[in-house]
Structure 1
Amino acid sequence: MPIDIELVENHLTIPMPESDRLIFDDSRRITGPGMIWNRRGALVDILVEDFDRSDVVTAWQTEIARVLHALGWQDSETNFRIFENGVTLLISAPTDLLYSAVFVIETSWHLTAHKLLGSASEDFDKLVADLRAVIALEENPALIKLQQAADAKAIDILSDDDFVSLGHGRGSQVWGVNELPNPDDVDWDRLHNLPVALITGTNGKSTSVRLATAIGEAAGLMSGSTSTDYVKLGDDILDYGDYSGPGGARMLLRDRRLEIAFLETARGGILRRGLPLFQARAALVTNIAADHLGQYGVNTVEALAQAKFAVARAVSQDGVLVLNADDPLVVANGLGFERSKCWFSLDADNGLVEAARAAGEACCWVDDEAICYYDGNDVVLQIATEDIPITMGGNARFNVQNAMGAIGLAKAMGIANEAILKGLTQFSASPDDNPGRCNEFDVRGARIFVDFAHNPHAIAAMSSLLEKLPARRKYLLISHAGDRSDEEISDLTKGAVGFHPDIVVIAELADYLRGRALGDVPALIEKQCLASGVAAAAIRHAASPSAGVADILGNIGAGDVALILALADRDRVFELIRAAQH
């Protein structure tokens, strides 16, 4: 009988008791390695008030054990994470029963919550009977056989609601979920994994992905990438949108033209579904800074670091973890993973880099404004930072770090030095190569920088870059979305004005009010500008980012510098700047 995933997904509704002390926040399938472990399965997030969270976990462990025993799921494992205001509860499950696993863990929480609240739950035997019914609808023995055969050969298997694939790119084959072959009928000799890298961090992900992809292309390989902007293979955009999760990865890795892949791996995708694959040749963690806290039980930057480091769980035994030795949270988390590491640092005297060199391990550093890569025996690659266009003559230190990360990935993936140097020197800060990331334009002798930076770490980095540049006058265009807190808006603004702009244009984001009234966010921005020493006469307002850019373009002249933080209206912003160049 064909499997109807829509029927399975909507087959049950597990009732939850209404309580402001035990709030059922979310449940979801986990299809790959994640923040807590490297199992497929399901989880629930529970917000807890007036209960000891450890007691909640203990009560749940009793109830999930009852449910798993009744179902005969003796191989299912359990896990949990306690966070500041709640708990995350997890179970592992077979690949073919992930929707059922969600119902199983929801049922266990139904029983737990009623027990803790002292209320009556649904009949246990009926709950189990309902679970058995949905399991019968979803189970797919052919998928399990195929997975077991693939695991034995260390070949990645990617599955979703509609398709199952083995291997990557040119070494892949795809079948419909209801049309799976017997493992004996698969031509295993033509299936294999490709060099795939996972790139994560708070900032620099997209730039690192694009730079590493350019290096792959310089090596003559059909290179593909996923990012928050699109899925790209060679010169083809497969689709536009935020594809920094498993869906974009599957789209790319199933394209038989692909030879090497670089996957942007964002926090949201990791926490919602887990990683897209179990066999990566390398992973890069660029940095860790506060951003999007308060979601999925990740309330602190330390927890965010743990989530980002899920990428390390997917690195193969012979793979390499490329890590920023200048970032304390990257260091703290990276030391605990037993994989080959390539530390990189802006400082040749960094202790981790020195230790790696002494131990004969790969590492990368900057010495006398040249990036040096050490392969464990000798320095085999050197390049002056000023020869890498995205570093802005070495002044954009965050892009010097991104270049070192890309070098570490490229070496881990077997790319020759000549191709690495070619890719580094040909990749530019233009909107064509790296849209929205430190894009520079010359307008009537003025230097205009456009960046999509949206968190304090990224904005402060851009401000630091512009502070170093000589300028007759400095302009800033700034705006923020309404879903930021007052404190976050103040912090973002404080970082942005760090390069001491002479003129600040504050733009309204009318399409991103998100619960605030018109004018609320600009007023908060202006308040912080004044507190940071910007003169009231130097502050202007605009109805939109494009209107703000038009204002700046009408006044800017030779020797001036402008930073455009374009969080919306981006295409129109680029159009206006390009038109002003002619």
Structure 2
Amino acid sequence: MIATWRAESQLRGIPPSFRHWQQRCHDLGIPPVIVVTGSRGKSTIVRLLQAIFDEARIQSAIWTDFGVEINGRRQRGEIAGWNRAMARLTESSLDIAIQELDWNLVAAVGLPTATYPIGIITNLCANHAGCLDTPEGQIASRAIPRVSRAVHQSGALCLNGEDYTLHPAASFTAAHLSIAARSVLSPMLRQNDFTGSPNFWIDDNDDIVCGSDQHHQTICSIKDIPLSFSGSATFEVMNVLLATAAALSTGIGIDLVARTLQSFDLSTDELPGSFNVATNGSIRTVIDRIMPSWFLKPVLRAANPQASRRQITVVGGLQTVPGDDIYDVGRLLGRTHGAVICFGDVPEATLAQFKRGISSNEYPPVLVQLPTERRAINRAMQAIRAHDVVLFLTHNDPGPAVRAVARMRGR
């Protein structure tokens, strides 16, 4: 049975039930599809929403970087699979779909206006001024107005209220805004407080709260959500807030959303290379992807809080880091004692800047350069000792790191 809001607990801007929201979409002539875009966190939010709808026994389809799934079953061919999902939405044998879109695709192809009932923009630059000057930042800047206009005026656009580079997105949309932030004092959240649309934040008791300053309701404690690592993984906290905002915007009940968040476990099989954390005795392993410094900083804080443990970092794809940022990436990775093992064909100028960043720290780790990922992983495995953190920052394929961690846990 699909959970719904009880009338006495209903907040402004929230549909009374999922079926009511679904019927409203049909009346407006728009398919019940949630679009998710941003620089990072998209696939995690899609999986969170999928888990919530599964818990509510709602028939759903998703489209991520890993392909199309209908009710959890992978489809052959992305375009054919998505067309199949859209056809089933039309004939009402499927209830909802969630579509992940990349900045490049949106900027190149565009989106039809007023097509989606709910849109989510996860982040752009994490408030780093230099990000907007990168090719990726410029592409994202062109895509944001298209995403904003693609959300129907009767729909909801869920925004990361802590990334101020997303502020223009609010001015390009006629939809209702739901702002997510870790603090109720967020300027974007405060500006949206009197619009009648619900906001989402973390209160002083570490509880997720939705509504407005005058009328709000507690969902659950962020510390009870495994994905957030007791709130230390701030980027996952934002993913949780945005997924919650979208789910409640479809009329799903608070209790069901809270229950799903508290039991949600993102497996490595579902999202390999997306902050996959595992423990083997006292050793912690983390697998993620190489990224600019503005996204790397919170990942490092969550992987090794206060840099209190010895850390071995295996990093590839340094040549993909923006040239002006490679020094800062090295500086961040050099803050922990241990070793940094880089691999691949890295241009000399890039490697020199990376080394300068590492050595700028008072007590920098040992830097090892190896030609292949296999040799880098083997060197890391040989150097591990009790209580270490082993961080893999992969480039194209996280598979080798995933298999190395699996072998280590199987010993």
Q: CA deviation at 1:364?
A: 0.7
Residue in 2 that maps onto 1:253: 86
Alpha-carbon distance in 2 for matches of 1:210, 1:277: 26
Match of 1:271 among 88, 93, 107: 107
Residue in 2 that maps onto 1:108: none
Q: CA deviation at 1:300?
A: 8.2
Q: CA deviation at 1:407?
A: 0.8
Deviations, residues 76-119 of structure 1 (Å, cap 9, x unaligned): xxxxxxxxxxxxxxxxxxxxxxxxxxxxxxxxxxxxxxxxxxxx
3-state DSSP class of the match of 1:554? helix
Deviations, residues 229-278 of structure 1 (Å, cap 9, x unaligned): 322222212258xx7xx887546434565321111111111122112785
Alpha-carbon distance in 1 for matches of 2:116, 2:88: 17
Maintained 8 Å contact 1:302/1:329: no
Match of 2:310 among 473, 492, 499: 473
Match of 1:449 among 286, 305, 317: 286
Give the aligned CA root-mean-square deviation in angstroms: 3.3
Alpha-carbon distance in 1 for matches of 2:192, 2:306: 35
Residue in 1 that maps onto 2:12: none
Letter in 2 for 1:455: P
Residue in 2 that maps onto 1:213: 50
Q: CA deviation at 1:462?
A: 0.7
Residue in 1 that maps onto 2:232: 395
Residue in 2 that maps onto 1:90: none
Deviations, residues 452-471 of structure 1 (Å, cap 9, x unaligned): 24233222221232352574
The correspondence of residues 82-97 of structure 1 with structure 2, limited to 5 A, is none
Residue in 2 that maps onto 1:572: 400
Maintained 8 Å contact 1:479/1:507: yes
Q: CA deviation at 1:375?
A: 6.9
Alpha-carbon distance in 1 for matches of 2:49, 2:229: 18
3-state DSSP class of the match of 1:320? strand
Deviations, residues 187-215 of structure 1 (Å, cap 9, x unaligned): xx999644211111222122122212221
Match of 2:339 among 492, 500, 503: 503
Alpha-carbon distance in 1 for matches of 2:353, 2:333: 14
Q: CA deviation at 1:572?
A: 2.0
3-state DSSP class of the match of 2:247? helix
3-state DSSP class of the match of 2:383? coil
Which structure: larger Rg? Answer: 1
Q: Is residue 380 from structure 1 mapped to residue 217 from structure 2 by the alignment?
A: yes
List alignment gaps of at least 5 residues for structure 2.
1-21
Maintained 8 Å contact 2:160/2:181: yes
Q: Is residue 428 from structure 1 mapped to residue 265 from structure 2 by the alignment?
A: yes
Alpha-carbon distance in 2 for matches of 1:190, 1:260: 15
Residue in 2 that maps onto 1:345: 181
TM normalised by structure 2 equals: 0.81
Q: CA deviation at 1:567?
A: 1.4
Maintained 8 Å contact 2:31/2:115: no
After superposition, the Cα gap between the structure-2 partners of 1:396 and 1:191, relative to the gap in structure 1 and judged at 3 Å, is closer
Alpha-carbon distance in 2 for matches of 1:504, 1:299: 28
Work out the percentage of aligned pairs sharing the same amino acid.
21
Q: CA deviation at 1:421?
A: 1.5
Q: CA deviation at 1:485?
A: 5.2
Maintained 8 Å contact 1:451/1:564: yes
Maintained 8 Å contact 2:67/2:74: yes
3-state DSSP class of the match of 2:124? coil
Alpha-carbon distance in 1 for matches of 2:249, 2:213: 12
Letter in 2 for 1:216: F
Once structures 1 and 2 are overlaid, which stretch shifts more, 378-387 or 361-370? 378-387
Q: CA deviation at 1:394?
A: 0.6
Match of 2:70 among 227, 233, 240: 233
Maintained 8 Å contact 1:305/1:333: no
Q: CA deviation at 1:395?
A: 0.2
Residue in 1 that maps onto 2:141: 305
Alpha-carbon distance in 2 for matches of 1:576, 1:531: 31
Q: Is residue 541 from structure 1 mapped to residue 378 from structure 2 by the alignment?
A: no
The correspondence of residues 42-121 of structure 1 with structure 2, limited to 5 A, is none
Maintained 8 Å contact 1:211/1:427: yes
TM normalised by structure 1 equals: 0.59
Match of 2:167 among 331, 337, 347: 331
3-state DSSP class of the match of 1:500? coil
Match of 2:382 among 554, 567, 578: 554
Aligned residues: 380
Alpha-carbon distance in 2 for matches of 1:226, 1:370: 31
Deviations, residues 521-561 of structure 1 (Å, cap 9, x unaligned): 555533432234564x7112233334322222222233211
Alpha-carbon distance in 2 for matches of 1:331, 1:356: 12
Alpha-carbon distance in 2 for matches of 1:376, 1:248: 43
Q: CA deviation at 1:400?
A: 0.7
Letter in 2 for 1:286: T
Alpha-carbon distance in 2 for matches of 1:236, 1:476: 35
Once structures 1 and 2 are overlaid, which stretch shifts more, 554-563 or 269-278? 269-278
Alpha-carbon distance in 1 for matches of 2:81, 2:297: 30
Q: CA deviation at 1:383?
A: 1.2
